[in-house]
Amino acid sequence: MGLTIAQKIIKAHLVEGEMIAGQEIALRMDQTLTQDATGTMAYLEFEAIGIPRVRTELSVAYIDHNTLQSGFENADDHRYIQSVAKKHGIRFSRPGNGICHQVHLERFGKPGKTLIGSDSHTPTGGGIGMLAFGAGGMDVAVAMGGGAYYITMPKMIKVNLTGKLSPWVSAKDVSLEILRILSVKGGVGYIIEWGGEGVSTLSVPERATITNMGTELGATTSIFPSDEVTRAFLAAQGREEDYIALSSDPDAVYDRVIDINLSELEPLLACPHSPDNIKSARELSHIKVDQVCIGSCTNSSLRDMLRVAAILKGKKIDDSVSLSVSPGSKQVLTMLADCGALSDIIASGARVLECACGPCIGMGFSPNSAGVSLRTFNRNFEGRSGTRDGQVYLVSPEVAAVAALTGYITDPRTMGDYPEITMPEEFLINDTAVLLPADEAEAVDVEILRGPNIKPLPDAYPLTDTIKAPLTLKVGDNITTDHIMPAGAKILPYRSNIPYLSKFCFAVCDESFSERAKAAGNSIIVGGVNYGQGSSREHAALVPLYLGVRAVVAKSFARIHVANLINAGILPLTFANPEDYDKVTQGDELEMTGLIEALDTGKATLKNLTSGVEIALVCQFSQRQKDMLLAGGLLKYTAK
């Protein structure tokens, strides 16, 4: 039986376990990346491990999230990360050099390599044939130290592409179509491999848009073949020597095959407040638009920006619309300026923002009250834009640019001929904004620079046989990490200060939760389906840990978040019968006993001391996860 592309890379990097779906495996990581919203914690954790220098082929620290300097906090974090990178053998991508995933694709991504990043959209690297995973900072810290990355061996979905995209239809529409088919939880437990004759019609940046959005499916990762299109992209970046061919075997077996005819797709939108709430542009043409944001790690490549510039050229945006454009990297911005496309964008009335994540994480450019904002981003969770009642739609660059001109959601196919663009055969190469680390001899004298906002990690607890605590919060389905630990310009500067950050925990759901949890001392949270979807931010586990949360019981968990809970020493359990979710109420006193034995049996019992009801729970973990919980989380386990 042949192997899929992902299985070939897994086989070449397998450290422990067998390639049997559902079993835990350990993989050697070739590369790591961090960004500054999660990076400070990741490097504090790496320091705690005590290894003097990273043991990967390549590790890069990017500054792309917290780039608004409204106080000393962000600047201090950046200074800390830069000093850690210099001392410990990590390359440092300076603020303004670009968004981690865009820059990594341009300058560092290699087909056939493994990559782990402290950002959930690290699977963007799958567009170039990497096996790339988003993870919590602790997992990245361990990988930097030479440790393996543990996952459950995924099943395989193949998406078979035929045909070719029609004018005004783009890779973003492919992403939205697969979200329409699978939903935000339909990819959980799977690697999604894109194949078929239609793949050859898609450029590497287009493929990266699709693998980027695979994160919203809950998939472990997504991957494209490495072919002549990949070779041409790497050659244009001056890196043809990094090319290897990668394809699945003809007799590879997939657990599910999905067929998508690119020729039949039309411009789509994800409506508020979920990436899988899909409708067509033609259905929504009556909706007035207040704001348009173009950029993010999903759609900020040179190809995307040239297309936007061509649509805007010689025109002016509607008087009622505010338009921002954020190129994905310094390379993209410079090449836009050199060819005149940047002037076309500016002349239209757009505001050009820094090469950074910016509005995607609520870092500036929030919409007006209840404003309709069309964004070429990957998430439209409630409140993520920085405006609690903002109505955010996810769209392609084409739909975004046309809406900025008309003032309404508009099917771009009504705009006449699709403007042609010409991609350069060679990209501008200037890596001066990527600082190299000190060599090993010099690194001894490098001082780590810590600001006053950088606080120690919260202490984790070894699992006890009994947990008796109140149910301090009960939430519904599809609770995201943005619900648990919001982003935004007011909060992100405190990512390295867990005590202060705790004030905002679950504020989107219940502003009183933080104080209530502190008063309780120890507590339990109950959630619904797909609890913890979205970002890889481990703060969504570390902050509840700080607030005394000892266990989370849910109908089901998102992959990265359940790993982060275990890493933090918080016990994640699921209802044996999902309807038992209705048998607990916020404020109930709950008790679980015999938990040490439950780790072996896989079964636990939750007693609702308030009502007298007993509820069966599932308590199934790998041996390594059991040991981590008994030790008090990943760092204590690693230290042992």
DSSP-assigned letters across all residues of 71-113: SHHHHHHHHHHHHHHHHHT-EEE-TTSB-HHHHHHHHT--TT-
Q: 69 or 147, which is more confident?
A: 147
Confidence of residue 536 (pLDDT cuts 50, 70, 90): confident
Confidence of residue 555 (pLDDT cuts 50, 70, 90): very high
Residue 639 in this model has a pLDDT that exceeds 90: no
For residue 394, give Cα distances in angstroms to 164, 176, 276, 405. 22, 9, 10, 17
pLDDT, position 230: 98
Q: Mean pLDDT score of the chain, rounded to an integer?
A: 96
pLDDT, position 69: 80
445 is catalytic: no
For the segment 137-156, the average pLDDT, to the nearest whole number, is 96
Q: 581 or 386, which is more confident?
A: 581
CB-neighbour burial class of residue 425 (10 A; exposed 0-12, middle 13-18, buried 19+) = exposed
Residue 640 in this model has a pLDDT that exceeds 90: no
Residue 38 in this model has a pLDDT that exceeds 80: yes
Catalytic one among 30, 36, 65, 274? 65
Residue 506 in this model has a pLDDT that exceeds 80: yes
pLDDT, position 179: 98
pLDDT in tens, 247-284: 999 999 999 999 999 999 999 999 999 999 999 999 99
- At the top level of CATH, the class of 268-411 is alpha beta
Residue 85 in this model has a pLDDT that exceeds 90: yes
64 is catalytic: yes
Tell me which DSSP letter residue 12 carries: H
Residue 294 in this model has a pLDDT that exceeds 80: yes
Asked if 486 contacts 508 with a C-beta cutoff of 8 angstroms, the reply is yes
pLDDT, position 338: 97
537 is catalytic: yes
- Find the range with the poorest average confidence among 84-98, 372-386, 426-440, 479-493: 479-493
State the span(s) of the chain assigned CATH 3.20.19.10.
467-639
pLDDT, position 68: 85
Query: How big is the chain, counted in residues?
Result: 640
Catalytic one among 36, 76, 119, 173? 119
CA distance 558 to 536: 10
Q: CA angle 145-99-316, nearest 5°?
A: 175
101 is catalytic: no
CA distance 612 to 562: 28
State the span(s) of the chain assigned CATH 3.30.499.10.
5-264, 268-411
For the segment 187-207, the average pLDDT, to the nearest whole number, is 98
Confidence of residue 13 (pLDDT cuts 50, 70, 90): very high
CATH 3.30.70.260 applies to domain 5-264: no
Q: Cβ–Cβ contacts within 10 Å for residue 589, how many?
A: 14
Residue 137 in this model has a pLDDT that exceeds 80: yes
CATH number of 467-639: 3.20.19.10
For residue 550, give Cα distances in angstroms to 139, 384, 541, 597, 637. 20, 27, 10, 17, 18
290 is catalytic: no
Q: In sequence order, what are the beta bridge partners of 35?
A: 62
Catalytic one among 379, 384, 559, 561? 379
Catalytic one among 120, 222, 535, 556? 535
Catalytic one among 64, 76, 77, 290? 64
Question: Is the bond preceding 104 in cis, omega lying within 30 degrees of 0?
Answer: no
Residue 205 in this model has a pLDDT that exceeds 80: yes
119 is catalytic: yes
Strand 114-117: give its sheet, edge to edge.
131-134, 114-117, 31-35, 58-62, 91-93, 434-435
For the segment 574-579, the average pLDDT, to the nearest whole number, is 98
Tell me which DSSP letter residue 604 carries: E
Write down the pTM of the prediction: 0.95
